[in-house]
Amino acid sequence: MIAVSLRKKLTALFLNSCFLMPMILITIVVGISPTVSAENVCEVPANNNWDVSQRINQHEVGMWDWDGLEKTDLLWPIENDFSMDMTVQNDSAVAISMILSTGKSYTFCFSFIGDPESPPSNGAKGDIYLMTDGNWDFYEGNYDLRTEDWLDVIGFLPVEYRDTATWMPFRDVHSYEKVTEGYFSVAIDSVSSSWFGETQTEYYLVFDNWDNNRNTDQSAAGGVLNIELLVDVEERLVLPKFTAYILVAILPLSCLIVPFIINSKYNSYGLDNSSVGDKEVIPLLEEQN
């Protein structure tokens, strides 16, 4: 009887674990994910202790064509904190390109400051975008066509396909428009793969001071904007990829397996002969004439 009771307890524990495991895993993932608070973001020294130019390229669209200059071949991701100052002219944009690592969490703190020699007439506000290299190409094309009606240019495309002919911020969320200062964090889950192995994507952090094709963006400031940028790099705990498959599959599998277990245990109780004693013979009552 003790063995039967122990089996029942273990079975109940297993069934409850199957239903509770997804919630437990989600709680663990949320608990160990890095959090960023406004009080201690971007604790970055003003002076860099490494050569930032070796892992970052600077670009500009507009009056000054920085893309015409020779650029460093970016081979290694950003692994250390850094800070830098930039200037974006009116009706133009400036950007830095870099490679982000899958084992790091990056926090970008930024602020726009009006240049005292050419103060912005519309206030020291601008737009910040994080985008991939392919979207950066579309962004530069958008600037070249800024004096034309953008909808007329892509008007031949159906509405549902127009996003393929323009640029999008990274993950469709990393756009920060009409801001004076702020911060955001990003972590890269994986790198791109191809037949020739893994390829590293360049990410562009764009500081926008012109009226682009987005309806929600800030128009040109009407003057020069100085930019202060701080980048805080922290170690990030990366869970193995199979944990995602376990998290997604365990609940459907439990819904399939648990009914079979319950049905099997229910049927097995009727076949248990351990409590059956000696057979008793029931006398046959014969009808007497």
**pLDDT score at 206:** 97
Backbone phi, psi, residue 47, to 5°: -105, 130
Helix, coil or strand: residue 115 = coil
Least confident of 59-63, 136-140, 271-275: 271-275
**pLDDT score at 284:** 63
* 196 within some domain: yes
* 5 within some domain: no
Q: Can you tell me the distance from the alpha carbon of 89 to that of 132, in angstroms, rounded to the nearest whole number?
A: 23
* 151 within some domain: yes
Q: Are 77 and 52 in contact (CB under 8 A)?
A: no
Banded pLDDT at 73 (limits 50, 70, 90): confident
Looking at the 3D structure of the chain, how many domains does it have? Answer: 1
**pLDDT score at 262:** 73
Give me the domain span that covers residue 96: 43-235
* 161 within some domain: yes
* 105 within some domain: yes
Residue 278 has pLDDT above 80, yes or no: no
* 162 within some domain: yes
Q: Are 204 and 121 in contact (CB under 8 A)?
A: no
Residue 36 has pLDDT above 60, yes or no: no
Residue 194 has pLDDT above 50, yes or no: no
Q: Can you tell me the distance from the alpha carbon of 154 to that of 164, in angstroms, rounded to the nearest whole number?
A: 10
Q: Can you tell me the distance from the alpha carbon of 42 to that of 233, in angstroms, rounded to the nearest whole number?
A: 8
242-270 and 2-32 helices cross at what angle (nearest 10)?
160
* 170 within some domain: yes
* 70 within some domain: yes
Least confident of 106-115, 154-163, 239-248: 154-163
